[in-house]
């Protein structure tokens, strides 16, 4: 067995982003614009459309993606979707009361667009959101006002099929040019990567980050771990789907990139999946993709695609035709079609969100998570403590924000960003209903804590608690320094870190309206780095422990080969499998995981298998007296 080759990354000089027109003038060119009307007799009908090229297929597809089930119960909505793996779609839905009895006194229409995916998973489609909503509102009152569509199409259409993919007025595409800047840049270099006037658009999905934490609570951490394993994650929800689509649109590194340069698109799944560049370089070439696919809104019409994707999961990564072939690599999507939730072969993890009216319930109703079907997923006790620490840190950060009256006039405020700064009570294991959300303390943990309290008068436990608190605090440390300080002491150097540092220092003096969102992104970016870096070190340490197995056969003579075989047989006879990686309890703690949780132990085993194709043996925590394990 030879060690898995690591990913190779070529370096190139940093690309300077020059000044650009205002955000409204940097909308992506349209590949298609269409109007969909719901007819009680004919169903969904495309009543007006334009496309570049004209052969771009729209009929029989976009009308179902633009109007998912259940929209008749809401007044308006925004729906994201993917079209044929080549375009991102966005539609604005309006349900307008009318006097037409044939229409059952309600006119339901949607104005939608397609933009190329060459500039990210959303193609920056959100820049058109406000205009789409305005046109939909006008057409809902008078569906014959198609001249507004014609005018918008003429103003924003791609000049030709080639310009759809390479518009001259946009910066180099992050997906067309996958080279990254050379490492070890200084923080001042990061300033060159920042546009002169940074703004975060009101419809940018990053504004939903705070809501995501409020919605999922400690469950965000097991979902994050499932995303790292590249599970197929289905979110079953009710209309409206706009917020849930946002949950599925956000990433770690890529949202940071979109905050730094709003020209760049958001790529993948909520805040769960993106792997930092510095860690990607340390992973084998056969490891899962650094980013996870978002399918956004899906429905019954997507079942054939999901079945095909499921079949692709059974094929090895080497069988894919190209690096760009993402079939079988995991995804995240939301749906309002409950039938998809029943087809458990199409997904690995099912997240069921409570109905909208449950927000008025006396007791908070949390989402339910299953993986696989019928097997509830809960947060660990460690997740509960980490969530409380994260929320406390965000509250302190919000409370330290400058007076909004001093905001610069060019800052765009978010219409959906929830107020922050009011200290919320911590979730406790004794709270009513918490047992539905968090695993109960294990008997082993209770025995260990009791014994250590008796044996060390509580000193050992206090020491462990302080170490844990310091580790959690480090994930939020120095995010917004007063002076231009560096985070390189806690993060491996890479261009993304440099850009975050530059943005943090720059915006700290400008009352950054996205400071909470950026803090959440950086937190999960560091958490992902923490987990995978420990695994990389453990696997590398295991390889160094048995160097003989990695010698080239051509470099060994027959005698030495026999000696190696004999040594291997001795190790195997002693119960030592050189392909098994041993992960001790200290490593589990260093990952920020729960040493007492069987689910976290299983996660580490799955992680080592998915990324390194190795088995892992997890050593539990305990106390030994005179060689005898007492707990």
* Among 321-325, 350-354, 397-401, the least confident range: 321-325
pLDDT digits (tens, 9 = 90+) for 576-605: 566 889 999 899 999 999 999 999 999 999
Q: What percent of the chain has pLDDT over 90?
A: 24
Residues 154 and 281 in one domain: no
Q: Is 11 within a domain? A: no
Helix (H) or strand (E) holding 92: strand 87-97
Which residue shows structure tokens 């992902």?
A: 528
Cβ atoms of 414 and 386 within 8 Å: the answer is no
* pLDDT greater at residue 54 or residue 220: 220
Residues 535 and 515 in one domain: no
Q: Is 407 within a domain? A: no
Residues 543 and 508 in one domain: no
Instruction: With a cut of 90, say whether residue 525 has pLDDT above it.
Output: no
- Token digits of residue 391: 């929320």
Residue 482's pLDDT is 44
For residue 53, whether the previous peptide bond is cis, meaning omega lies within 30 degrees of 0, is yes
Q: Report, as an integer, the average pLDDT of 355-382.
A: 84
| Total domains present in the chain | 3
Residues 350 and 226 in one domain: yes
Q: Is 540 within a domain? A: yes
Chain centre to alpha carbon of residue 453: 40
Residues 279 and 309 in one domain: yes
260 by DSSP, 3-state: which?
helix
Q: Report, as an integer, the average pLDDT of 439-464.
A: 71
Q: Report, as an integer, the average pLDDT of 346-350.
A: 94
Residues 251 and 360 in one domain: yes
Instruction: With a cut of 90, say whether residue 181 has pLDDT above it.
Output: no
Residues 54 and 165 in one domain: yes
Longest dimension (CA), the chain: 93
Other C-beta atoms lying within 10 Å of the C-beta of residue 277: 19
Residues 6+ away with beta carbon under 8 Å from 547: none
Q: What percent of the chain has pLDDT over 70?
A: 58
Q: Which range in 459-463, 484-488, 540-544 is most confidently predicted, on average pLDDT?
A: 540-544
Instruction: Choose the final residue of a domain: 477, 501, 526.
Output: 526
Q: Report, as an integer, the average pLDDT of 257-276.
A: 43
Rounded to whole angstroms, the Cα distance separating 590 from 530 reads: 8
Q: Is 187 within a domain? A: no
Instruction: Choose the final residue of a domain: 146, 179, 212.
Output: 179
456 by DSSP, 3-state: which?
helix
Other C-beta atoms lying within 10 Å of the C-beta of residue 575: 7
DSSP class per residue in 116-163: EGGG-SSTTGGGGHHHHHHHHHHHHH-TT-THHHHHHHHHHB-SSHHH
Q: What is the 3-state secondary structure (H, E, C) of 411-435?
A: CCCCCCCCCCCCCCCCCCCCCCCHH
pLDDT digits (tens, 9 = 90+) for 17-56: 334 444 445 788 999 999 999 877 777 889 999 998 877 8
Q: Which pLDDT band holds residue 172 (cuts at 50, 70, 90)?
A: very low
Residues 334 and 451 in one domain: yes
Residues 222 and 364 in one domain: yes
Instruction: With a cut of 60, say whether residue 277 has pLDDT above it.
Output: yes
Q: Is 98 within a domain? A: yes
Instruction: Choose the final residue of a domain: 495, 526, 557.
Output: 526
Give long-range contacts, CB 8 A cutoff, 24+ apart: 175-181: 175/117, 175/118, 175/119, 175/120, 176/118, 177/15, 179/10, 179/11, 179/12, 180/9, 180/11, 180/12, 180/277, 180/494, 180/495, 181/11, 181/12, 181/13, 181/14, 181/15, 181/495
Residue 137's pLDDT is 92
Q: Is 410 within a domain? A: no
- Token digits of residue 425: 């009570």
Residues 433 and 340 in one domain: yes
Instruction: With a cut of 70, say whether residue 483 has pLDDT above it.
Output: no
Residues 85 and 213 in one domain: no
Structural domain including 89 reads 27-179
Closest CA to 296 of 367, 243, 366: 243
pLDDT digits (tens, 9 = 90+) for 69-99: 877 788 888 888 888 878 889 999 998 877 6
Cβ atoms of 248 and 333 within 8 Å: the answer is yes
Instruction: With a cut of 80, say whether residue 174 has pLDDT above it.
Output: no
For residue 517, whether the previous peptide bond is cis, meaning omega lies within 30 degrees of 0, is no
Half-sphere CA count of 596, side-chain side, radius 13 A: 18
What value does the mean pLDDT of the chain take? 71
Q: Is 10 within a domain? A: no
Cβ atoms of 547 and 582 within 8 Å: the answer is no
Q: Is 3 within a domain? A: no
Residues 536 and 512 in one domain: no
């Amino acid at each position: 067995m030879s060690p898995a080759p690591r990913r190779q990354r070529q370096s190139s000089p940093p690309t300077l982003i020059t000044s650009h027109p205002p955000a409204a003038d940097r909308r992506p060119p349209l590949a298609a614009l269409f109007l969909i009307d719901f007819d009680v007799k004919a169903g969904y009908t495309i009543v007006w459309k334009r496309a570049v090229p004209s052969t771009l297929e729209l009929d029989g597809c976009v009308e179902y993606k633009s109007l998912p089930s259940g929209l008749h119960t809401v007044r308006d909505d925004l729906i994201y979707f993917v079209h044929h793996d080549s375009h991102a779609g966005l539609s604005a839905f309006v349900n307008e009361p009318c006097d037409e009895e044939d229409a059952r006194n309600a006119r339901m229409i949607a104005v939608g667009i397609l933009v190329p995916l060459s500039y990210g998973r959303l193609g920056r489609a959100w820049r058109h959101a406000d205009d789409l909503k305005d046109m939909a509102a006008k057409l809902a009152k008078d569906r014959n006002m198609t001249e507004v569509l014609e005018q918008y199409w003429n103003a924003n259409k791609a000049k030709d099929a080639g310009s759809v993919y390479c518009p001259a007025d946009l910066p180099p595409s992050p997906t067309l040019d996958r080279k990254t800047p050379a490492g070890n840049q200084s923080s001042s270099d990061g300033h060159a990567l920042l546009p002169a006037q940074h703004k975060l658009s009101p419809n940018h999905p990053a504004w939903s980050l705070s809501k995501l934490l409020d919605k999922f609570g400690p469950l965000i951490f097991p979902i994050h771990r499932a995303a790292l394993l590249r599970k197929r994650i289905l979110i079953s929800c009710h209309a409206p789907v706009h917020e849930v689509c946002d949950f599925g649109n956000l990433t770690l590194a890529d949202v940071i990139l979109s905050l730094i340069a709003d020209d760049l698109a958001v790529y993948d799944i909520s805040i769960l999946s993106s792997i930092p560049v510095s860690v990607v370089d340390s992973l084998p070439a056969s490891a899962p993709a650094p980013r996870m696919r978002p399918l956004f809104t899906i429905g019954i019409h997507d079942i054939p695609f999901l079945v095909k994707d499921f079949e692709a999961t059974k094929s090895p990564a080497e069988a894919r035709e190209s690096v760009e072939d993402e079939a079988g690599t995991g995804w995240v999507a939301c749906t309002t079609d409950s039938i998809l939730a029943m087809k458990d072969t199409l997904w690995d993890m099912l997240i069921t969100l409570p109905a909208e009216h449950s927000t008025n319930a006396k007791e908070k109703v949390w989402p339910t998570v299953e993986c696989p079907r019928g097997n509830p997923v809960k947060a660990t006790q460690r997740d509960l403590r980490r969530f409380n620490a994260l929320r406390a840190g965000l509250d302190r950060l919000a409370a330290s924000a400058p007076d909004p009256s001093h905001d610069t006039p060019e800052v765009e405020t978010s219409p959906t960003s929830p107020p922050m700064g009011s200290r919320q009570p911590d979730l406790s294991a004794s709270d009513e209903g918490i047992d539905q959300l968090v695993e109960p303390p294990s008997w082993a943990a209770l025995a260990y804590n009791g014994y250590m309290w008796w044996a060390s008068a509580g000193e050992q436990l206090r020491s462990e608690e302080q170490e844990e608190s310091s580790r959690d605090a480090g994930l939020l440390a120095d995010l917004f320094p007063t002076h231009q300080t560096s985070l390189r002491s806690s993060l491996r150097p890479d261009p993304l870190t440099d850009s975050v540092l530059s943005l943090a220092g720059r915006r700290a003096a400008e009352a950054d309206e996205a400071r909470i969102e950026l803090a959440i992104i950086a937190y999960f970016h560091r958490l992902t780095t923490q987990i995978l870096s420990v695994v990389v070190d453990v696997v590398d340490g295991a390889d160094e422990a048995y160097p003989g197995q990695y010698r080239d056969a051509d470099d060994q003579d027959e005698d030495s080969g026999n000696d190696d075989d004999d040594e291997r047989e001795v190790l195997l006879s002693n119960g030592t499998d050189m392909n098994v990686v041993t992960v001790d309890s200290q490593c589990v703690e260093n990952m920020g995981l729960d040493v007492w949780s069987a689910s976290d132990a299983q996660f580490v085993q799955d992680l080592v298998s998915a990324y390194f194709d190795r088995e892992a043996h997890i050593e539990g925590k305990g106390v030994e007296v005179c060689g005898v394990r007492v707990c």
